[in-house]
Structure formats: structure tokens, C-alpha cells
Amino acid sequence: MSTPLVDWLRAQDDDTLADLLRLRPDLAVPPPADLTVLATRAGIRASVHRACDDLDTVTLAVVEALVVADSDVEPVPVAELLRLLGPDLPAGALDASLTALRSRALIWDAGAGICMVPAVRDVVSRYPGGLGRRAAGAAASTGLPQLLAAVEPDERRVLDTLAAGPPVGRSRAGPDPTSPVARLLSRGLLVRVDADTVELPRQVGLALRGDRPMGALPVDPPDLATVERGIDLVDGTAADAVLRALRQVEQLLAVWGANPPPVLRSGGLGVRDLRRVAREVDADEPTAALLVEVAVAADLVAESDGIGPEWVPTTACDGWAASLPEHRWAVLARTWLDLPRLPGLVGTRDDAGRPVSALSDGVRRPMASRDRRRVLAGLGELAEGTAVGTPAALADLLAWRAPRRGGRLRDDVVRWTLTEATVWGIVALDALSTPGRVLIGDPGRAASALRAALPEPVEYVLLQADLTAVAPGPLDPELERELDLVGDVESAGGATVYRFTEASVRRALDAGRTAAELHQLFAKRSATPVPQGLTYLVDDVARRHGRLRGGAAMSFLRSDDAVLVAEVLASTVADTLELRRIAPTVAVSPLPLAELMHGLRTAGFSPAAEDTGGAVVDLSDRGRRTSPRRRTGDRAYPGTEPDAEQLQGLVARMRAGDALAGVRRASSGTPNGATLDTLRAAARDRRSVWIGFVDAHGVAGEQVLEPLSVGGGVVEGRDGVDGALHRVPLHRITSIALVEG
């Protein structure tokens, strides 16, 4: 008689049970009351399917052999499995596969062989190993070898084709009794499924395959061609990618701060809005979708409140933008790594044929983070600076290691992961960069790893005659802030190009910079002579800038040039701004100062705002902001495993529950006589007892207790599960029994 799974589990040590809960965490949710519950859950179809997702190709072939041998019906000897798997299986491979299956409680040792959880049969195809179903009649008879030896060549061709798999085929012979298929059917070597389909019985297929009953096994993983890049080249390329990605996210925040796109009625971002992002940040649409998805997941962008919600930068983006490049990158890289969404799906079509939009529910995939980490872990097995030959080669290797994982998007996920990781500098030239390697293993040190890979900040730029400046590397933070103020980024990457225009210079003057300060900035920070055209540009804008001064009256307008004030009052904008002259050089308006400045600039004037002390103040629009709000539905798949102490605690609870379920509940009536003797004996011999009791509210309960002392009408002992100390009045005990074992 075979051993049931629950009895096999009871015979295992605590470490084995803890390892089972680690490999199949769904079995522990909620915590099983005892080992009987654990054994029941281990056979549930959905749980078995999840447990098989991590099995490699060889182990799945062993599973198919177990199914062919009907090990869910009766135990199968290991020798029979070796026969079915054939001579191609390497020495020790079967033992390793069986160990993997045992550790997941998918099989167990039962008497003279191995038993399999019945639900495992649903994991494999309808025709395991490419073999058909068992059949009665001639196919099951002892004379099968003689029948096969007598088949004609044309009949043999039919049998060999079906034996190679799949074992079913369509017969176009019709009613012709002389056709090869008809002759095979008449002798029972084929069976008819329907009018047009025949099937090769399993017994016939096994006989035809000879010493390889399960066919040829792909026992060796596919070769992974590699290319040596060199870690310095990989890290340098990754650093350039990081700087470009950070600049693109900054541009995204600036664009959406000034002109936020609407949230689609169905949720997500419109196609035209995504294309606009791609143009603004100089990227293709897949990269733009990635930037948008990560910006929202990092809480740098969120839906605004109101009837017509929009995608608006949050207040958190200002703190992010003010931090160092390596810290900004760490936020984005960790967010992408844990993102429970697949940005690569944007632009594809869902099952209903509708296009999938960025930021929509169609991109959500709870297991995306797990699959993403698996791809990067496979890349991390290569030496530093070593790249895969092609993404397809890596996909083939990962598919061999876990054929069931990933579904129809399995190979696409590998390609998307490498492409997206390249955008963030985690991967460069199809090799894992040093910051990427650290990010996977120790996320807390990722920022410092990138800091080491980034080139040292430069404190100068190269001014060009075409009113541009080239930053040959990452700039000193102070210099970068000044150049962002006085110039517009034309291209970003390893070298950043800034362009100076009348609008950008006026922006710096609006922020309080003077012409002299700008001239000093260019002279001090340029490694090349300051072009005359740039000097003229600054002087020309400064000459017209600030001649008009606005203040709060709500607001006022003043100028040392009375003619200029008269010109403003004579313009069409004067009525719109409700300007009123109160002195030859002063006019006032009931509008806020910011509106007054905007109206004058729109009319072609160049005013400057001042505070109550006359100093220039910056009223430039930094864009709209909304409150941060992490989307609760976008939490990553929990990748953290319970620690060893938690697992051992779960095992202890199951052991105690098992003892409680199996105890002999021999009621002793009143709490005297045999009850006291049993408690005292248990305390003396350090044995556990099961007690039934009624609490102060009259509610019945039960507990496993190890008595320490009995007296004064109370038994004191430790809980058999958590070791806590309990005191139970003797008069409340209704029944008692010693726990066996």
C-alpha cells in the first residue's frame, strides 16, 4: 500500500517543510492549520501550475514521464522512469529533477516507487511526450511486436510519422479498405477518433521508439554566444545613457507642467499626446511611453483633481530635480525594476483588437517585475563587460530554463527588458553595466555605483559663434542651473548643447540676473573666447529689459522714461490691463503683478518685476503641480520571501495543529481525580497535553499545553505553538488527553 502525501510530509524534517513553503509561498497564505491542510493545498490545480512554472526543460520531461507511467494512480519505480527517459539523460539529471519535484511536494516517495500529485497531469499537454492515449485490443496485447514486424513499408511510414508526434493525424483515405490507414485500423495499430482523425495508441508509440520511449530529450541548454565589450566601454556608454534619460524626464516634466495632457475617459494617455512627448524629448514612441510610465510610477506625475483630470507633475518632482544625478537615476531605475507593468505593450492591440494606451490598465502585468529581474539575472551571470550575442539567444536560454514562464509574451519580455534597461543605463551594448549589477544585488548602493561610473563634473563650457554652448560632460550643479536659466537645451547626452536666444536671456534677466552677471558667467566659465554675437545679444536684451518696472498696487508700472510709459498707455493692451497713469513715470493696475507682466510681454514690451525694495524678482511660471499620489493598483509583485524564522514558525504551528488534530480526546468529566493526575504526570515527564476548556464568557476552546506546575486550582504551562505562558483554572477544564509522540 502506498504512503499518502500527508504522511510523507509528516515524516519530513522542519527544514524540508520550511523549504517547501519558500518554494511554494501560496501554500502558506493563509497559514495552514496543520499538515493535512498543507497536503490538500499542495494538490490544488492552480497551485500546482504555479509550482511548475519554475521547472526547467529536463524536469518537465521527467514530469511527462511520470504522467506516461501513471504515477498518480500507483507508485512508479525509478528504474521505470530511467527506461522511459532513455539513454540521453545525463547521470544524476534524474536525481536532480526528482529532488526539485520532491522539494515542491509535487511527488513523494511511496513504498517501492514514486507517487505524483494528480493535478500535475494537467500541467503537461494532452499527449505527454508526444504519445497518444492507452488503448485496448491488439495494441495492448503481448503480440504487438509480431504485429509491428509484419507491417508493410507504406504502413510503417504512417506509424513512424505518428510515433514522432503528435500522435494524431487526419485520414484522407475515405472508405478504401486497402489504404495503409485502413489496414492499420483493422489490426488495432491505429484507433479512430472521429470520421477524419486517427490516433496512434501509446503502447504502439512506445514500441516504435525503442530505447527512447519519450523521444529525444533536449537535455543540454542552448549555447549562449557572447561578445566581449570591456567594462570601461560598457560603463561609459551606460553613463551617457543615464544623462540623456535624466534630461528627457526633466523635459517631460517641463512640458507637462506648462501644458498637461488630459486623462482619457477610459484612463491612460492619448496617442497624440504620447507623440507630442516623443517630439519634445527627442525620442521614439516606445521610449516616450517608457519615460511616461516610470515618471507616473515614481510619483513625479499624477492625475490632477477636478472634473477634467490631467497628467500633471507633482510637488515631489521639484525635490527630485534638485537632487544629484545619481540619486535621480536611482529613483527612476528602482521604480522601473519594480514596475508591475509592461511599457512595451503600448501601441499593441489587446484581445479585443483595441490599441493599448500608455498609463492604461492594458499595460498592467503583476508579474512584470519578476520576469524583468529574471532577464537581468540571466545577463548578470556573464562576466563583467561581456554581452550576449543577440537578445534572441538569451531568450532561448531562459525559455529552456523555464519553458512555462512568460506565456505568449515570453520572448518579447526579454527584448523589451534589454531595450528599456538600455534607456536607463542598466544595460549598455547588451551587457550589464556596473551600476545595473549593483542595482539588482544591492539597490541601496546603486547611486554610489553610478557616481563612480559618471565622468567627473566639468566646470566649463565651450561657447560657439552660433550662439550655442557645448558642455563636454556632466556639469557642476551650480553651472548647470545657471545655463538652464540662460539657455535652452538643444540636445542632451554625453555632451549637452545649449542655445542662447532672446527669450532665454530675458528669462535669466526676469529671474534677477543682470547683464554684468551674465557677461561674467560666460567669461569665467567658457574655455573658449566669448563670441561677440553673444555679448551683443545679452546687451541688446538687457537694454530693453527692466526699463518698465511693475509692483503690487495690486500692481504698478514705473519707468524713468516718461515717453515709454506714455507708449504703453497708448497701446491696445492698456485697456485690457486697466492701466491708469498716476504720475509721468508711474501707472497702476488692479490686476495681479504676474498678469500685468504677462500682458506687457505679450504686447511686445520687456518689463521686469520688482519687490517692495526695488529688487528684481522672478515671476516665471514653473508649471502646474499636483499632490503626489501613488496608485494603489500599481504595487509591484511582492518579490520578498519570508525569512527563515517566519518559515520555521509556520512549520511549528502546523506541527502543533497536527498534534491537536490527532490527539485522543478522552474526556475526564470533572477537573479532579484523573485530570489532576494527568496534569501532574505531564508536568513531571515534560509531556504536552490537549485540554478542552470553557472561558469566562462560556465559550468553548481547546489548546495544546506543556504543564509546568499544577496547584492552587490553576495549571500553568507553555503553549505548544508559540511558547507563551498560560494559566488555566482547573475548574474550567472540561476534557484532557495526553498528546502522543
- CATH number, domain with residue 154: 1.10.10
In order of 104, 448, 566, 615, 663, the CA distances from 560 in angstroms are 86, 54, 12, 16, 101
Same structural domain for residues 423 and 472? no
Q: What is the chain's length?
A: 741
Measuring CA to CA, which residue among 687, 693, 734 is closest to residue 708?
687
Same structural domain for residues 292 and 420? yes
Burial class from Cβ neighbours inside 10 Å (0-12, 13-18, 19+) for residue 481 reads exposed
* 623 within a domain of the structure (yes/no): no
Taking 50 as the threshold, does the pLDDT of residue 615 lie above it?
yes
**For residues 494 and 595, what is the distance between their CA atoms, to the nearest angstrom?**
39
Given a contact cutoff of 8 angstroms between Cβ atoms, the answer to whether 409 and 238 are in contact is no
Taking all residues of the chain, what is their mean pLDDT, rounded to a whole number?
85
Measuring CA to CA, which residue among 203, 204, 208, 220 is closest to residue 88?
220
Per-residue pLDDT reduced to its tens digit, 422-438:
999 999 999 999 999 99
| Domain stops at, among 609, 624, 642 | 609
3-state helix, strand, coil in the chain (%, to 5): 50, 15, 35
Least confident of 400-414, 434-448, 528-542, 688-702: 688-702
Given a contact cutoff of 8 angstroms between Cβ atoms, the answer to whether 26 and 48 are in contact is no
H helices of 24-129, in order, are 35-42, 45-52, 57-68, 78-85, 93-103
Q: Concatenated DSSP letters for 381-435? A: TSPTTEEES-HHHHHHHHHHH-TTSSGGGHHHHHHHHHHHHHHTTSEETTEE-HH
Same structural domain for residues 257 and 361? yes
| Domain stops at, among 411, 435, 453 | 453
Q: Check residues 341 and 661 and name the one with the higher pLDDT.
A: 341
Q: Residue 711 is part of which domain span?
A: 663-738
pLDDT tier at 638, thresholds 50, 70, 90: very low
Q: What is the CATH number of the domain that holds 669?
A: 2.30.30
In order of 81, 93, 97, 444, 524, the CA distances from 216 in angstroms are 15, 15, 17, 47, 74
pTM as predicted: 0.74
Same structural domain for residues 445 and 491? no
Question: For the chain, what is the largest distance between any 2 Cα atoms, rounded to a whole number of angstroms?
Answer: 122
Specify which residues 341 forms β-bridges with.
364
| Peptide bond preceding 153 in cis form (omega within 30 of 0) | no
* 436 within a domain of the structure (yes/no): yes
Check residue 501 and give its pLDDT.
Answer: 92
* 186 within a domain of the structure (yes/no): yes
Check residue 22 and give its pLDDT.
Answer: 93
Same structural domain for residues 231 and 371? yes
Q: Once rounded to an integer, what is the mean pLDDT over residues 508-516?
A: 87
**For residues 562 and 560, what is the distance between their CA atoms, to the nearest angstrom?**
6
Given a contact cutoff of 8 angstroms between Cβ atoms, the answer to whether 208 and 372 are in contact is no
What's the total number of domains in the chain?
A: 5
Edge-to-edge strands, sheet with 488-491: 462-463, 468-471, 496-499, 488-491
Same structural domain for residues 234 and 360? yes
Least confident of 9-18, 72-81, 85-94: 85-94
Q: Check residues 271 and 574 and name the one with the higher pLDDT.
A: 271
* 542 within a domain of the structure (yes/no): no
Same structural domain for residues 440 and 311? yes
Dihedral sign for Cα 18, 20, 25, 29, please.
negative
Helix (H) or strand (E) run with residue 197 in it: strand 197-199
Q: Once rounded to an integer, what is the mean pLDDT over residues 128-148?
A: 75
Q: Once rounded to an integer, what is the mean pLDDT over residues 345-372?
A: 91
Helix (H) or strand (E) run with residue 655 in it: helix 644-662
* 40 within a domain of the structure (yes/no): no
Given a contact cutoff of 8 angstroms between Cβ atoms, the answer to whether 693 and 728 are in contact is yes
Check residue 490 and give its pLDDT.
Answer: 83
- Other CB atoms within a 10 A radius of the CB of residue 660 amount to 19
Least confident of 407-411, 651-655, 671-675: 671-675
Per-residue pLDDT reduced to its tens digit, 366-393:
889 999 999 999 999 999 999 999 999 9
Q: Once rounded to an integer, what is the mean pLDDT over residues 279-283?
A: 91
Q: Once rounded to an integer, what is the mean pLDDT over residues 602-611?
A: 85
* 639 within a domain of the structure (yes/no): no
pLDDT tier at 475, thresholds 50, 70, 90: confident
Same structural domain for residues 448 and 471? no
Side chain identity at residue 557, one-letter code: L
Check residue 307 and give its pLDDT.
Answer: 80
**For residues 240 and 428, what is the distance between their CA atoms, to the nearest angstrom?**
10
Same structural domain for residues 416 and 314? yes
Same structural domain for residues 236 and 288? yes
Same structural domain for residues 576 and 694? no
* 33 within a domain of the structure (yes/no): no
Per-residue pLDDT reduced to its tens digit, 680-728:
888 888 888 878 787 777 777 777 888 888 877 788 888 766 677 888 8
* CA-angle at 653, arms to 649 and 657, nearest 5°: 170
Same structural domain for residues 399 and 254? yes
Per-residue pLDDT reduced to its tens digit, 175-225:
667 788 888 887 878 888 887 788 888 888 888 888 888 888 888 888 889
| Peptide bond preceding 529 in cis form (omega within 30 of 0) | no
* 653 within a domain of the structure (yes/no): no
